[in-house]
Amino acid sequence: MMTEQKSTNLERQHPRGTGWITCVLMFAAVCLVFLGIATTAEAARGRISRVVIDAGHGGHDAGAKRGYVLEKHLALDVSRRLERYLERRNMRCVQTRNRDTFVPLSQRSKMANRYRDGVFVSVHFNWAYNSDGSGTETFYNKNSALASAIQTRVARKAQTTNRGTKRASFYVLRHTDIPAALVECGFISNYDDRRRCLDPRYRQKIAEAIGEGILAYSRG
């Protein structure tokens, strides 16, 4: 804005022979824009160098299910959406599985522990005997900071019960040395939650909310 105004003023004062000044100013403006993009990308990355995205279950382990609705498929879909969201913001990601395959829990944690400056985020959908159970929740084992950053944003977007953050001793949380969180994106056993979970727009919203939480945590 400033640069454009400057060049207009200059042209007004010197109607002839100022073409080169305009060129120099335009070149400077282009440089500033590129510098801005690079700085923004750097800021987006923050203190995290890698996000290990863990789509829960897979292969013969379907996770929670209700009729044809399988947790493993929903989890993989949200994980892929999350990866796209983060990579567009220059955050490098790695998936513990990117197909419908069975990956043992020990392998998932081992993969995560390779990235010292990374975070591990496991994506799941919930199930309860009581079909009234609904909402989103995020688990952690050692430190709640990442889980809180994620859950705050997921709860805001999901428009279902906010079950908050909880400490749990799930294998992948216990055996992962880097900051780790496990997000439950909704209850397959609850009618309203299930309807939401089957809607790709809901899954996109949840993926973006998880992504926002990770980026906010990374910025500190």
Contact positions toward Zn ion, by CB under 5 A? 56, 63, 124
In contact, 37 and 88? CB cutoff 8 Å: no
Whose CA is closest to 51, among 158, 163, 210, 220?
A: 210
**What number of residues does the chain have?**
220
Question: Distance from CA of residue 157 to its chain's centroid?
Answer: 13
First to last CA, the chain: 31
CB of 151 to Zn ion, least distance (A): 16
Whichever of 63 and 211 has its CB closer to Zn ion, that residue is 63
Between 122 and 218, name the residue whose CB sits nearer to Zn ion: 122
Which residue number places its CB atom closest to Zn ion? Answer: 124
Query: Which one, 97 or 124, has the nearer CB to Zn ion?
Result: 124
By beta-carbon proximity to Zn ion, the closer residue of 124 and 196 is 124
| Closest distance to Zn ion from the beta carbon of 203 (Å) | 15
Give me 122's structure tokens: 């496991």
**Least spacing, CB of residue 38 vs Zn ion, in Å:** 39
- Nearest approach, Cβ of 182 to Zn ion (angstroms)? 8
Of 9 and 101, the one with the shorter C-beta distance to Zn ion is 101
- For residues 77 and 218, which CB has a smaller minimum distance to Zn ion in the complex? 77
**Residue in the structure block whose two tokens are 């987006």:** 44
CB 71 to Zn ion: min, Å: 5
From the CB of 184, what's the least distance to Zn ion, in Å?
7
How many CB atoms are located within 10 Å of the residue 205 CB? Answer: 20
